[in-house]
A and B are shown apart, each in its own frame.
Chain A
Amino acid sequence: KNEVEQSPQNLTAQEGEFITINCSYSVGISALHWLQQHPGGGIVSLFMLSSGKKKHGRLIATINIQEKHSSLHITASHPRDSAVYICAVRDYGGSQGNLIFGKGTKLSVKP
């Protein structure tokens, strides 16, 4: 079992829908990252958080340290949001760069 699990693996939505992607982890962490990988392959860092909630535009990320769970929400989804969303954690005992990644959630937003 991977230390970082994401659900769902695949998600298809209609434009305008509210989307939630979940991430659960089994290790103690010092930070959690949400990343976006576009069809062309490039990876963009969306959020890094260690507590509470962060918001950027239509994206909201929350984390519950006690429950070892994070969610990424997309409001008013748009076809350009179609991408793979990856959750990654920094193990509390690990080095600063050693991120542990989930397998990603492939999101497809239909017009």
Chain B
Amino acid sequence: EAGVTQFPSHSVIEKGQTVTLRCDPISGHDNLYWYRRVMGKEIKFLLHFVKESKQDESGMPNNRFLAERTGGTYSTLKVQPAELEDSGVYFCASSQVPGETQYFGPGTRLLVL
């Protein structure tokens, strides 16, 4: 069974540009989570989807971040316009049942110059 996949693995963009990150959860997992780790800090929760609905988006830093999960399968996280402080590693995870073991993707390393 394929694990959680994320694309791209790395992205280098200039300040002001737009970047879209994609996450494909494990098939059948209704719960999808986005997290990010900025340099030197702990991983922080961004949001939680249950199917296509946003269950909790309390961790989204500001309105430059837009997450979608149309159809309840893969999810995208768009940053527009990107700022320097958005640099970090963005992780996606999925689980079958909320609150149970989450399976993490390899992360997308974003560098905003």
**B-binding residues in A (CB < 8 A):** 2, 4, 30-31, 33, 35, 40-45, 48, 86, 88, 90, 94-104
Contact = CB atoms under 8 A, between A and B. Distances in A.
10 contacts: A30-B99, A48-B101, A95-B55, A96-B98, A97-B47, A97-B55, A97-B95, A98-B56, A101-B42, A103-B42
Contacts, number: 72
For the complex of A and B, the 8 pairs showing the least CB-CB separation, nearest first, are A97-B48, A96-B98, A95-B56, A43-B104, A96-B99, A101-B43, A101-B42, A103-B42
Contact of B42 (A2, A43, A44): A2
Nearest to B109: A41
Given A97-B45, A97-B55, A98-B48, 14 more contacts: A2-B42, A30-B99, A45-B102, A94-B56, A95-B55, A95-B56, A96-B55, A97-B56, A97-B98, A98-B56, A99-B35, A99-B45, A100-B45, A101-B43
Contact of A88 (B43, B48, B89): B43
* A-side interface mostly: strand
Contacts of B43: 86, 88, 99, 101
A41 B91 CA distance: 10
B98 A42 contact: no
Contacts of B33: 97, 99
Interface residues of B, number: 29
B107 A41 contact: yes
Interface of B: 31, 33, 35, 41-45, 47-48, 55-56, 58-59, 89, 91, 93, 95, 98-107, 109
Contacts of B105: 42
A17 B41 CA distance: 29
Nearest to A88: B43
B54 to A, nearest CB: 10
Contacts of A40: 106
A55 B20 CA distance: 39
